[in-house]
Structure 1
Amino acid sequence: MLKKKFHEYSYNLGFTREEYGSRSNRYSRLVFSAFHRYGFSDTLTMGFHAEAGNNLYNLGPQMTFLAGRAGIVSLSLAGSSGRGSNSGAAGIATYTYQGLNIGARLSLAGYSRNYSVVSDTQSDEKTKYTAGCGLSYNNPLLGTLSLDLASVRKYVGDDRDAGTVSYNRNLTARTSITATYRRVREGGYSNEFFITFNFAPKPDLFVSTGYEQTDAGKTVVASLQKNPPVGEGFSYRASVKRSDVFDQTTWTVNPDLQYNGRYGIYEGGFQGHASGGEKTGQYNFSVAGALVYVGKTFGATRPVYDSFGLVNVGELEGVTVLLNSQVVGETDSSGKLFVPNLGSYNQNQVGIQDKDIPIDYYLSSVKRLVSPPLRSGSCISFVARKLQPISGRLAIRIGAELEPVEFQEVALKVNGRDITFPTGSGGEFDIDLSQSNEFKKVLEIEESGCSSITDNTNVMLKPGTYQASVQHAGTLRSFSLSIPDSTEPFIDLGQVVISDTP
């Protein structure tokens, strides 16, 4: 269901991937696919789906509505048309209900004999209809028990009926057990039983053991897995499996090690088999990465499967970058880091650790919410400027005398905005832009786009000459203020003299 006036859509044009998983760079015909859904109200969503390719066209409407507190109903129709025997129709209806403790589902789909989709126009086994239903009960103390029934009828091929009973329960905060029994009728009858015990000693570390019993034999598996980090770091997984099928014992071991680096993912593994006195083994190694460009910055990073971002923290090196509170990496010598795993149309919280920022720096913010479009690049800027207070004494030349400009407000033109600061006794002044609301607005503009990345600077006020003005004796006096290029923590401009010409 979509909220009222919300859209969900995808329009795609590309080439069909052939023999996926077994051969690389094998593409064939050009195909088009799309869907578009719109929330007419909070309880009604409608749309369409379409695809075309290889002289085949498939199009149909979709509708999902909320049936009060009774659940959600979805209806979908489709028709296909093309050369040969690919013209037909299909319809799908589903119902789901999820209460506090009870859940239910119903589904029914029917297909005419010649109905076809672009991804499968050559299959000999055509489905006539499918039907399914399910019921589940959940209790925090007792666990979850579910029952599912499914039926498939075909124009050609064996029909299939299956019934499944599953039980899941958390034994402790870190351990759980899952058991499943399934009975299948497809040509004959078969029975399957699975039970799995899971243990998570750490949030990213998992240990599991499983037992499977089928009509053909039994299998026992033990595995250990550390999930890959969001950013840089190591992960691993290893499994040992013993299968006793058709009176033959087979041992399989499969260790794998992966490193997420700054510029790519590097993975190596081994798969070994031992059965009937014969042993076989296979090693594998892979490298994956991406070349990206955004904000006039080109670079290499880990694979990008959705969207990515370029984080910039001034010119500060070694600043830790976080994505949804998990470490992604550290900025390089130019203050930049690519984040390759942003989720499109989702709120991604990108942040930095302020403890990595020197104490003499102004930092605009430590967290940003980013919601990028699909397969896009985003500039994510955290304005970090070195606090370099500027002081001096302002005076005006009156004939041969220098008269201090005291207790006046000076307007300094910075990036098209007037930044003001006062003068005191003897014309003394201090410029601390970190306290200027107008200058903070300038930094907010830089932070909202790619400007701070493409025109990066490390100081609050760039070296150069700025125009300024001040009221003196009822007359507006203009003058130039030159800021030197200095690495000192404080800049003393000495005496700044305004000519006596208005």
Structure 2
Amino acid sequence: MTTCKSRCCASRLRLPEAAAAFGLGLVLLLSWAPPVAAQAVSAAAAAPDREELYLAVTVNGEALPQLARFLVGPGDALAASAATLREIGLRWPGSETASGLVELAQLSGLKATYDPRNQMINLVAPVAMLDRVPLRLVSGLGAAQPAEASPAEPGLLFNYDLFAQDSHDTSALSGWNELRMFGVGPGVWSTSMNSGVTHDLLGSHHSSVRLDTSWQMNWPQQALSLTLGDTYSGALTSSRAVRVGGLRFGSNFGLQPYQVTAPLNTFVGEATLPSTVDLYINGLRQSTQRVSPGQFLIDSLPSLNGAGRAELVITDINGQRRAVNFDFYGAPSLLREGLWDWSATTGFVRQDYGQRSFSYDHALVASGTARYGLSDRSTLEAQAQAGGGVALAGGGGAWRLGERAGVVSASVAASHSGAGTGRQAVAGYQWTAQPYSVSINSQRRSAGWRDIASRFETRHALDQDSVYAGYSSFLGQLGVIYVRQSYDSGDSQRFLTLSWSRQIGDATLSLNVVKDLASNSDYQAQLALYVPLDQRRSVSVTAARQGDRTNLAVDASQSVDSSAGGWGWRLQAAAGSGPARSQAEVTQMGSLGQWRAGVSGGSSEATTGYAGASGSAVWMGGGLKPMRQVDDAFALVSTSGVPDVPVRLENRVVGQTDSHGLLLIPQLNAYQRNKVAIDTLDLPADMRVESTTADAVPESHSGTLVAFKLRRIAAVQLTLRDEAGTPLPVGSNVTLEPAAGAAPAATTSVGYDGLVYLEDPPAGTVLRVEREGGGTCAAALPPIPGTGWIDLGPLTCR
């Protein structure tokens, strides 16, 4: 008898059958596939006592998706081709050029176990032997995917803030307003102004001043913005911005809130087996992620500014834990490697802002700034300004020193103007490592230094120095600040500030002292105790002294819930060296806006009453609707005309839809996913909604529509009985056979007592029921009268 040597054989062949099969196979191999036969003979010649098997493979406990070819010899000695071992992710000295068979026992550090029952081979290799690209993970916000903005609905927005006051000889009314147009073509157009009227003993005075008018267009994918109209120039930490009427084009990372601009903290680890990795920053867990065997990298957001300590806790599938510690330094002021931040501005400098509507300098100016992340440790910067008889250029950078030594910055610039040639040098150093923090900044300018902003100053600052030192302990947080500034007029200012605060239970006690070093007697001191009574109510007591004057003030208040609205109030009283003074105010915020009213007075002044109101009016979706004041983006929620539906924003109730099924939600975050949801618990039973949650991603300063599709259905209940009047058995299958051309057939089941529940059954539907003993019966539905809850009563199934 001939024995089948392959372990994959399912049965043994008798001798005549084996001989016939062998002869037929030999003829086919020789006639059809000479190369394959030659290869088989070659393999047999190389390893006549080995068996060729295709096995499932696990590497360090992780199963591979494909089978691999191995040769098994006496004693379960294992071998595989070099190409096969490379394919399953192994490397060893000389593996790149190796060919032919490789004995697994000869690979140092590799453990191979053959499981004949499961036709599997389990490989355990050191991490250095795993030929895999290190797994890169992200911890924190950076792991989120960028959000694509929802289409902006065409509309107009009018913001307003009114304030009126009256005393015995003076009354005044003032207001701020903004008009904004969005969704009509590209970009957003807006204009704002202040207006007021005052009546006193000298008569009436009217004023109206335009503030800003601009048109802004954004490209979120490129993080770029173009502004035409009133804007401001870009600036570095060593330069100053000016308001201009003209054009600005440049980076706007606010369009990509999910992008991290600062260098990420990267932590490297390795796992021999599939593991779970917990990342801790200064003892606080930041993330938990699963990793495969091999090396991995975790990019963590710069969650703190300064030196910190990170710990990776790696737990493998066997429950074994080990920890790896790292020192790092978070520097949010730097740009991550390869990132540009730039702006270019040209126009006419705005003058008398807030006092005159159209006051612009006659000279055309231009400025540009640029920052570039040369590496995660180095950020370079450059600036240039020209116009109005001033030309300026400069450059510098910021560098992280080591892993915990802080950040140093330096820049130089030169200018040429009517005052001659000038130079500026700026240097700084920041270091934070709990419980200490230090910041040193110094600026030096020559007498001829000028920039665009200098043209509108009466005196020019030359030298500036500031030093800050802070310390935190169980006794509180202590900070000391020294500031010195000198001017081209020869005068100078020097101040020393001492601050201290300590948490005492829920209360906070703080002390601030400011000393003018140029005066022997001039100083200010303030001691304050702040006590929160609950989430919205608080009491504070403040004692202040300036020179020889001492005052004591008491303040009690209840803030308004910014989401749900409601009532708020405030009471103040002050007495001391100066006149006694008191104030009382009440405020209320609703879905239409916010109003406030109060009265104030003192021992040396007349009693004054005042009132104010703020809010907005929106024209969108074909109607005009009032709501709270909108600073940036908002959403119009529609529930298909269904009123009184509660709406939530990020799991906070923000209101209910009105009689038209609409609700405006202000204060959304532009270009971010704002989770909007409706509460359907109190909806009628015959109401259906396709989805109860949606992500609103509005564009900047625009509105978006969030539509929830609610509809009423025909909720039909009936009782199926047989011809004897007995309810059909529970669980019987029911098929809805609609009339020709209607929707496809649906199925349901019979409930207790023969009850059947249907939603929106098509007209002319026939219910066909499978009987327990075989066969079917049918019942035709009568016409359904509209929507709502409908009980058809008993139907006979024949």
Query: What range describes the TM-score normalised by the shorter chain of this pair?
Result: 0.5 to 0.7
Unaligned runs of 5+ in 1: 394-405, 433-460, 471-480, 496-502
CA contact (8 A) 2:739 2:764 kept: no
CA offsets 1:88-146 (integer angstroms, 9 cap, x no match): 487766554444433333334566732124xx85221322243323222234x332122
Q: 1:486 is paired with a residue of what secondary structure? A: coil
Q: Is 1:184 aligned to residue 513 of structure 2?
A: no
CA offsets 1:15-66 (integer angstroms, 9 cap, x no match): 7978999964334895333552674964345312444432232322235788
Correspondent of 1:26 among 183, 191, 210: 210
Q: 2:457 is paired with a residue of what secondary structure? A: coil
Q: How does 1:295-306 map to 2 (within 5 A)?
A: 295-306=621-632
State which drifts further: 311-320 or 82-91.
Answer: 82-91
Inter-CA distance 346–40: structure 2 relative to 1 (3 Å threshold): same
CA offsets 1:245-296 (integer angstroms, 9 cap, x no match): xxxx212222222221322222222232323xxx323222222221224445
CA contact (8 A) 1:411 1:419 kept: no
Structure 2 partner of 1:199: 531
Inter-CA distance 359–41: structure 2 relative to 1 (3 Å threshold): same
Aligned equivalents of 2:558 and 2:193: distance in 1?
Answer: 31
Structure 2 partner of 1:242: 575
CA contact (8 A) 2:461 2:485 kept: yes
Structure 1 partner of 2:324: none
Structure 2 partner of 1:81: 386
Structure 2 partner of 1:102: 436
Q: Is 1:56 aligned to residue 365 of structure 2?
A: yes
Q: How does 1:188-337 map to 2 (within 5 A)?
A: 190-230=522-562, 231-244=564-577, 249-275=578-604, 279-337=605-663
Offset, 1:200: 0.8
CA contact (8 A) 1:113 1:155 kept: no
Q: Which has the larger radius of gyration?
A: 2
Aligned equivalents of 2:597 and 2:651: distance in 1?
Answer: 28
CA contact (8 A) 1:412 1:419 kept: no
Structure 2 partner of 1:113: 449
CA contact (8 A) 2:443 2:465 kept: yes
Inter-CA distance 352–152: structure 2 relative to 1 (3 Å threshold): farther
Correspondent of 1:126 among 426, 438, 460: 460
Aligned equivalents of 2:677 and 2:612: distance in 1?
Answer: 31
Aligned equivalents of 1:280 and 1:235: distance in 2?
Answer: 25
Q: 1:253 is paired with a residue of what secondary structure? A: strand
State which drifts further: 32-41 or 369-378.
Answer: 32-41
Amino acid of the structure 2 residue aligned with 1:56: V
Identity percentage over the alignment? 17
Q: CA RMSD in A?
A: 4.7
Correspondent of 1:375 among 701, 706, 719: 701
Inter-CA distance 102–125: structure 2 relative to 1 (3 Å threshold): same
Q: 1:209 is paired with a residue of what secondary structure? A: strand
Offset, 1:362: 3.7
Inter-CA distance 346–27: structure 2 relative to 1 (3 Å threshold): same
TM-score, normalised relative to structure 1: 0.68
CA offsets 1:406-442 (integer angstroms, 9 cap, x no match): 847769999xxx77623789xx99654xxxxxxxxxx
CA offsets 1:161-207 (integer angstroms, 9 cap, x no match): 222221111101x2111111222235776322111100110111121
Amino acid of the structure 2 residue aligned with 1:58: S
Q: 1:372 is paired with a residue of what secondary structure? A: coil
CA contact (8 A) 2:477 2:501 kept: yes
CA contact (8 A) 1:194 1:212 kept: yes
Correspondent of 2:746 among 421, 431, 438: 421
Q: 2:699 is paired with a residue of what secondary structure? A: coil
Q: Is 1:339 aligned to residue 626 of structure 2?
A: no
Aligned equivalents of 1:110 and 1:300: distance in 2?
Answer: 53
Amino acid of the structure 2 residue aligned with 1:31: D
State which drifts further: 350-359 or 302-311.
Answer: 350-359
Q: How does 1:315-464 map to 2 (within 5 A)?
A: 315-358=641-684, 360-364=686-690, 366-386=692-712, 388-390=714-716, 407=735, 421-422=746-747, 431-432=758-759
Aligned equivalents of 1:413 and 1:218: distance in 2?
Answer: 90
Inter-CA distance 32–145: structure 2 relative to 1 (3 Å threshold): same
Aligned equivalents of 1:232 and 1:212: distance in 2?
Answer: 34
Offset, 1:390: 4.8
CA contact (8 A) 1:262 1:302 kept: yes
CA contact (8 A) 1:90 1:109 kept: yes
Correspondent of 1:150 among 465, 480, 483: 483
Q: 1:219 is paired with a residue of what secondary structure? A: strand
Offset, 1:379: 2.1
Aligned equivalents of 1:411 and 1:131: distance in 2?
Answer: 88
Inter-CA distance 422–358: structure 2 relative to 1 (3 Å threshold): closer
Offset, 1:464: 10
- How many equivalent pairs are there? 420
Structure 2 partner of 1:442: none
CA contact (8 A) 2:560 2:589 kept: yes
Inter-CA distance 346–60: structure 2 relative to 1 (3 Å threshold): same
CA contact (8 A) 1:32 1:53 kept: no
Structure 2 partner of 1:36: 251
Inter-CA distance 130–345: structure 2 relative to 1 (3 Å threshold): farther
CA contact (8 A) 1:323 1:348 kept: yes
Amino acid of the structure 1 residue aligned with 2:592: Y
Q: Is 1:490 aligned to residue 790 of structure 2?
A: yes
CA contact (8 A) 1:75 1:92 kept: no
Offset, 1:491: 7.5
Aligned equivalents of 2:739 and 2:433: distance in 1?
Answer: 64
Inter-CA distance 142–187: structure 2 relative to 1 (3 Å threshold): closer
Aligned equivalents of 1:329 and 1:142: distance in 2?
Answer: 44
CA contact (8 A) 1:37 1:46 kept: no
Structure 2 partner of 1:444: none
In proportion to residue count, which structure has more strand? 1
CA contact (8 A) 1:422 1:429 kept: no
Inter-CA distance 144–16: structure 2 relative to 1 (3 Å threshold): same
Offset, 1:300: 1.3
